Amino acid sequence: MGGLPRVNEVSDFVGRIRDVTGPGAHPLHEPVLGEVEIDFLSKCIRSGFVSSVGEFVTTFEEQLASFLECNAVVAMSSGTAALHIALLTMGVRPGDEVLIPSATFVATANAVAYCGAVPHFIDIEWETLGVDAHALDTHLNAVAVRKGDEVVNRNSGRRISLCVPMHTFGHAVNMSALHDVVREWGIPIVEDAAEALGSSFQNRKCGTFGLVGVFSFNGNKTITTGGGGALATNDRSIAERARHLSTTAKLKHRWDFIHDEIGFNYRMPNVNAALGCAQLTRLKESLQSKRRLFDRYDEIFKGSNLGAMFSEPPDSQSNYWLQTFILHREKSNYRDEILDRCNSDGLALRPLWAPLHTLRPFKNLPRAEMPVTMDLSLRAINLPSSAGIA
Ligand SMILES: *Cc1c(COP(=O)(O)O)cnc(C)c1O
């Protein structure tokens, strides 16, 4: 097919997607909703408890903890809120630097900024699309020094207090390589597992590797609570502190309003948790559907001369939250034409997020070299990924 004119190559690409999705409009990711959700929501409304107190919140937290095989889950109003609280419980202070990938959703960097800290951007690797542990080590050796118990950026003088790897599109970061590097430096980890519910690395669930992991249940994630998020941890004192901070730091009392520090109104309302409980009943099946969907895309794009599907990294299981097509390097100039053509045709294809270090609020911040991030941003195309398609 090497000699096909470009317009035919793009048509061929769209045709292959249509072979999988069928006709009509297809958003990037829509939730599966039905009778179960209606049942749970009716029960919640009949109970009279729709706000921040109620049994569905507790049930949702317990079921999620059991699925993740971790000690405690604290449900919150969004993944961003959960990230913010996670960073605070890990002791991130104003003026710190926090290592995060540039190739992530803006929420990761926003949460750092909410703490008064500074994102310090690092690169990813092709194998996982997540943090490149080896490149991180090289970068730290170039810019960081140990001062007592702390790691300091020798250029900025700021403390580097945390690393937040993100499991891109549900593909697991190589957590064992990353642990080797951060352990040596004494830098703790908070996992941004917002996209990775149900993914695992070496048979351990994503979100349970660091002291703290964070999930999102926004409408476009693997399961949804409308809007919502959660913090998962094996450390009960962190869970308690997260619960306290996210419920306005109010002390338990039968009637009095005593708040012992500045807290946040970040708790998940009961009505959202009811939706979450319903969605959890579908989780296993959704994960199977999403894997089936990957298999179909993978099959149909075999023999495409534009590129190939990104498949799960070794030693891991992906939840295949988003299905990602990677253009061959010499075809990266097809990206915008494909996006334009498909979006006009009702297929909501999306590129990678603009690398955060290129965005106005995050320009001129400390960062590593970004060869893979920049390359991926030119070549990644996310395809319609709803579990309902397969
Ligand atoms: C979705 C997402 C979040 C959290 O998003 P919310 O909309 O606040 O729930 C955080 N990080 C990443 C990488 C995400 O994809």
Please give the single-letter amino acid code of residue 384: P
Ligand 1 in contact with 77 (CB < 6 A)?
no
Which atom of ligand 1 is least distant from the CA of 220? 1
CB 274 within 8 A of CB 58: no
Cross-strand bridge partners of residue 360: none
pLDDT single digits (tens) 203-219: 999 999 989 999 999 99
- Whole domain around residue 143: which residue ranges? 35-280
Which atom of ligand 1 is least distant from the CA of 168? 13
Protein residue closest via CA to atom 9 of ligand 1 = 79
Residues 124 and 268 in one domain: yes
Which atom of ligand 1 is least distant from the CA of 105? 13
The confidence score (pLDDT) of residue 6 equals 85
Q: Where are the alpha helices (DSSP H) in 186-334?
A: 236-246, 270-280, 283-300
What's the rounded Cα separation, in Å, for the pair 284 and 167?
19
Last residue of a domain, one of 263, 280, 297: 280
Ligand 1 in contact with 218 (CB < 6 A)?
yes
Residues 219 and 364 in one domain: no
Residues 191 and 243 in one domain: yes
Ligand 1 in contact with 191 (CB < 6 A)?
no
What's the rounded Cα separation, in Å, for the pair 197 and 228?
13
CB 350 within 8 A of CB 22: no
pLDDT single digits (tens) 284-336: 999 999 999 999 999 999 989 999 999 999 999 999 999 999 999 999 999 99
Residues 236 and 377 in one domain: no
Decide: residue 68, CB within 10 A, 0-12 exposed, 13-18 middle, 19+ buried: buried
Residues 183 and 295 in one domain: no
Tokens found for residue 312: 């799960």
Residues 288 and 234 in one domain: no
Residues 248 and 291 in one domain: no
Residues 296 and 331 in one domain: yes
Residues 203 and 54 in one domain: yes
For the chain, what is the domain count? Answer: 2
pLDDT single digits (tens) 45-90: 999 999 987 899 999 999 999 999 999 999 999 999 999 999 999 9
Residues 180 and 139 in one domain: yes
What's the rounded Cα separation, in Å, for the pair 373 and 309?
17
Ligand 1 in contact with 87 (CB < 6 A)?
no
Q: Assess whether pLDDT exceeds 90 at residue 2.
A: no
CATH code, 365: 3.90.1150.10
pLDDT single digits (tens) 257-273: 999 999 999 999 999 99
Q: How far is the CA of 80 from the centre of ligand 1 (A)?
A: 6
CB 142 within 8 A of CB 135: no
CB 169 within 8 A of CB 382: yes
- pTM higher than the cut 0.95: yes
Residues 266 and 312 in one domain: no
